[in-house]
Amino acid sequence: MPRLTDEDRLKQLQQRRDQLNAQLAALEARNRQADKKRDDRRKILLGALVLADLQQRPELRAYLRERLPNFLTRPEDRKLFTDLFPPEDVPATNASPGGDVA
C-alpha cells in the first residue's frame, strides 16, 4: 500500500474530524431533547398534583390566587385559569395603580 502524502493524510483527518463533530452535535441534540422531555414531564406531573390538591386545600388555592396572576403575563395563559380567577379578578399587566390603562 502506497504511503499517503501529507496533503492526503490532512484531508482524511479533516473528514474524520467533521464526521466526529457531526456525531457529537447529534448526540448533544438528543441529550437536550431528552432533558426537555424529562423537564416537561416533571412540570405536567407537578401541575397534576397541584390541580388535584386545589379542591381539598384552601391555603393552596389562596396561595395560587395571590401568586399566579403576576406569574402569568400572556392573556392566553390567563384564560387557562379562569376557573381559579374570574377575569375581573385578574389584574391587567398594563394597568396603573389608579385603574387607568396606560
Residues 47-93: tens digit of each pLDDT: 999 999 998 999 999 999 889 989 999 999 988 888 887 665 445 55
Residue 1 lies in a domain: no
State how far the Cα of 19 lies from the Cα of 26, in Å rounded to an integer.
11
For residue 59, being part of any structural domain is answered with yes
Is residue 41 a part of any domain in this protein? Answer: yes
Residue 6 counted as domain residue = no
How many domains in the chain?
1
Question: CA–CA separation, 41 vs 9, rounded Å?
Answer: 48
Question: Which domain range does residue 68 map to?
Answer: 17-87
Q: For residues 32-44, give the mean pLDDT.
A: 98
**Residue 63 in domain:** yes
Residue 10 lies in a domain: no
H-state helical runs in the chain: 6-54, 58-71, 75-78
- Its pTM stands at 0.63
* Residue 53 maps to a domain: yes
> Is 15 strand, coil or helix?
helix
